[in-house]
Structure 1
Amino acid sequence: MELQPGREAVVRVAVATLWTSPEAVRQVDRPALTAQTDIPAWVSGMDTEEQVGDCVLSQLLLGERVLVTELRPDGWARVVAVEQPAAKLDPRGYPGWLPTDQLAPVDPASAGDPLVVDATVTELRAAPAGPVVLPGVVIGTRLVPAGPAEAGWRPLHVPGHAAPLWLPDDELASAPTGPPSAEEVLAVAQRLLDVVYVWGGLSAYGIDCSGLVHLAWRRFGVMLPRDADDQAVATTPLPLGAERPGDLYFFARPGGKIHHIGIVTATPGDHDHRRMLHACYRHRRVLEEPLPAERTATLVGAHRV
């Protein structure tokens, strides 16, 4: 089977980066472009300005589906990330470019109900407690089991690998049968405290504000849009003061579109004191903090998923 325009494919690396164009990538991006990406090396190799370069659109997790729309002879594919809604860009999902060797054709033999990775970061192995084959797998990744657990390890179908790979069974969770509680989602987001801010990031190695929100709900099978302004459209507005932990704060400058999002971590107290967890551009990391005055000045609403 080969990749073909007009057909779906799946991501075969732990974390793939979605680019604005092949020509936009930089020398520092090399660890994110290989057939087995090294996202920790990519993030650590960037300075603070490179971490917010606008050549990155988003990231995709192992097993995530894309629609291939174009294949270039130089090894790049234009795709639509169908599991990351982006209505203003493409009704099918988030469009961008990936190296073709980070994709695999869909294997009908691996169809089934997936399990979701619940470890913040883990690694797939060739056998129970065996050699590492695919490091850097992150929370929210969904993979189909290839059989029952054995001695505390679970075999999984992994794109690009003919034989099953293995994870500890306690690092996997069943797909939820209903919506998660706000407390459950907030607990996942809190596990990403101090993760580096990376524009377009969507992993436990680097993440941006809307990526944090998308990934926290994705862990429970809720596919929120990828970008903050689309997330506002997809959620339910609340009167300010009615928000509770796990709700969302949205921010915009006068006359501008929504540019930032955070997760409410406390019920507003006296004098409307508010707190949130967010991936902060200014501090270049995920943190939980009271809203400073300059942030409160751009607060335009609270929403609930």
Structure 2
Amino acid sequence: MVLRSGQEAVVRVAVATLWARPEAVRPIDAPALSRRTDIASWISGMTADQRVGECVLSQLLLGERVLVEEVRPDGWVRLVAVEQPAAKLDPRGYPGWLPLDQLAAPAEPLPGPPDLVVAATVTRLHAAPAGPVVLPGVILGTRLTSAGPVSGGWRPVRVPDQEQPLWAPDTHLAPAPRRPPSATEVLTVASRLRNVVYVWGGVSAYGIDCSGLVHLAWRRFGVRLPRDADDQAAATVPVPLGAERPGDLYFFARPGRPVHHIGIVTARPGPQGDRRMLHACYTKRRVLEEPMPADRTATLVGAHRVTP
């Protein structure tokens, strides 16, 4: 495949990791760099400290569009992830680096936009109904295009860089949303990721960070929120503290500093102002739902609501 600066491409692997720079990659990162990524093995092979290295910026899902900026002879591509808004970094999307092998040129124009979304936390795509696995680890929120009717509980779908349709269990898919979701629907999806380990820059059911959790939960319903917490604050509507309701967002910042953490409201505030939230917690290194700890209460700067 030949890609050039200014060309659009799509992700051809189940989950592609966006890197700060090629030189930041470590030997432990090999499973995330291949033509058939193994994100589960990559994350399980790292220590808790290795999972929070700032070499990782974000992750992209199968079929996600990118704009190519530079192709290096060593097989690395500098690009912009146009489906992950990042206003402070680039108005076009999130910038970073991917291995060339994880990208494909866009296919011929399809009859319409993707009409399906992965509703399961994780699924696998097969060469035939119940046949060999071609793409494991396809993540919640991945958009797919139907390639025909359901057959025996399996649905054919079009996948980048695959000449023939692949097959997914039909129960793992849902129609692409045609209306904005309720906050309760989004919270229900996010809650399914409880106990997923914390990974800096993660946007998958194998490892995720605080803003990635929010981005992915809303993405499941076709709502494109920015990737980072401070951008998410700028893209949502403040509500008075005390008026927040489940599905709203809490934002946290230290005095004079930008927003550094985000959580999802899981209950209305109690009579003493006590609060609960679901969040990917850096200190406890996992996604959990809990009463808001004192250190978080001390840095709480507001509650916001997503208004698609």
Q: Please tell me the TM-score bracket, short chain as reference.
A: over 0.9
Residue matched to 1:261? 262
* Residue equivalent to 1:174: 175
Q: How does 1:6-21 map to 2 (within 5 A)?
A: 6-21=6-21
Letter in 2 for 1:301: G
Query: Does residue 27 of structure 2 align to residue 27 of structure 1?
Result: yes
How big is the shift at 1:170? Answer: 1.5
Q: Is residue 117 from structure 1 mapped to residue 118 from structure 2 by the alignment? A: yes
Asked whether 1:45 is paired with 2:45, we answer yes
Structure 1 runs (4+) deviating above 4 angstroms are none
Aligned to 2:221: 220
| CA deviation after TM superposition for structure 1 residue 4, in Å | 2.2
Q: Distance in 2 between matches of 1:271 and 1:68?
A: 52
Note if contact 1:18-1:58 (Cα within 8 Å) is conserved in structure 2.
yes
Structure 2 residue identity aligned to 1:225: P
| Counterpart residue number, 2:206 | 205
Q: Tell me how far 1:192 sits from its aligned partner.
A: 0.2
Residue equivalent to 1:126: 127
SS at match of 1:210: helix
TM-score if structure 2 supplies the norm length?
0.98
Q: 1:201 to 1:111 in 2, by over 3 A?
A: farther
**What residue in structure 2 maps to residue 231 of structure 1?**
232
Q: Deviations over 1:102-132 (max 9, x none)?
A: 0000002445231100010110000011111
| CA distance in 2: counterparts of 1:222 and 1:123, whole angstroms | 24
- Where structure 1 has 5 or more consecutive residues not aligned to the other structure, the ranges are none
Q: Distance in 2 between matches of 1:103 and 1:121?
A: 21
* Number of aligned residues: 305
The residue type paired with residue 135 of structure 1 is: P
- What is the distance in 1 between the residues matched to 2:257 and 2:272? 27
Which amino acid in 2 is paired with 1:173? A
Q: Secondary structure in 1 aligned to 2:287? A: strand
Q: Which residue in the other structure is 1:61 paired with?
A: 61
Match of 1:10, SS state, is strand
State the 1:168 CA deviation.
1.1
Tell me what 1:2 maps to: 2
* TM-score (norm: length of structure 1): 0.99
AA in 2 matched with 1:174: P
Q: Does 1:82 align with 2:82?
A: yes
The corresponding residue for 1:298 is 299
Which residue in the other structure is 1:248 paired with?
A: 249
Structure 1 residue 153: Cα displacement: 1.0
Q: Whole-Å Cα distance in 2 between the matches of residues 151 and 273 of structure 1?
A: 50
| Structure 1: distance between partners of 2:78 and 2:144 | 24
Q: What is the CA–CA distance in structure 2 between the aligned matches of 1:134 and 1:300, rounded to whole Å?
A: 42
Counterpart of 2:84 in structure 1: which amino acid? Q
Per-residue CA deviation, residues 178-200 of structure 1 (Å, 9 max, x unaligned), is 11001100000000000000000
Query: CA–CA distance in 1 between the matches of 2:228 and 2:98?
Result: 19
Structure 2, gaps ≥5 residues long: none
Tell me which residue corresponds to 2:138: 137
Q: Shift in Å at residue 255 of structure 1? A: 1.1
Q: Distance in 2 between matches of 1:111 and 1:104?
A: 19
Amino acid at match of 1:142: R
Give CA-to-partner distance per residue, 1:234-255, whole Å, 9 cap, x none: 0000100000000000000111
**In 2, are the aligned partners of 1:111 and 1:144 still within 8 Å (CA)?**
no
Cα deviation per residue 1:183-241 (whole Å; 9 max; x = unaligned)?
A: 10000000000000000000000000000000000000000000000000000001000
How many angstroms apart in 1 are the aligned matches of 2:100 and 2:219? Answer: 25
- The answer to whether the 8 A contact 1:8-1:105 is kept is yes
RMSD value, Cα: 0.9
Q: Which residue number corresponds to residue 279 of structure 1? A: 280
Identity %: 74
SS of equivalent residue, structure 1 residue 149:
coil
Find the aligned partners of 1:206 and 1:107 in 2 and give their Cα distance: 30
> How much has 1:176 moved relative to structure 2?
1.1
Distance 2:191 2:199 in 1: 17
SS at match of 2:221: coil
Aligned partners of 1:130, 1:110: CA distance in 2, in Å? Answer: 26
